[in-house]
Amino acid sequence: MLHHVCSIYDQGVSAYAPPFIVPSKKDALAEFTRIVNNPQSMIYNRPEDFKLVYLGTFDLSTGKFEPPVNYKFGQKDAGQNDLAHGFEVKKSEETKD
């Protein structure tokens, strides 16, 4: 069964967070949105500094990791791999200051 491997890229320090695995890209966007709306997360106060990036697929049956065909590892701006490109993540009304 294929799952998707994602990470969060911090543009402020030019570093990736440890990757996480989700069943679908939709689940990755939902998780990223949850993190953005959590006042306890470091992303909460500066969501514009962070990008959700897609790293590839992971097969739970075989253990095989497969990056996207055009993926560029170490790409400084993470733009090409930005999973949330065109998807604006906003703080929910209940959690805004």
pLDDT in the model for residue 59: 96
Q: What is the pLDDT of residues 2-31, one digit of tens each?
A: 999 999 989 889 888 999 999 998 899 899
pLDDT at 95 over 90: no
The mean per-residue pLDDT over the stretch 55-72 comes to 86
CA 89 to centroid of chain Cα atoms: 11
Place of tokens 């006042």: 39
pTM for the full model? Answer: 0.73
Strand partners, 82: 53
Structural domain boundaries in the chain: 2-66
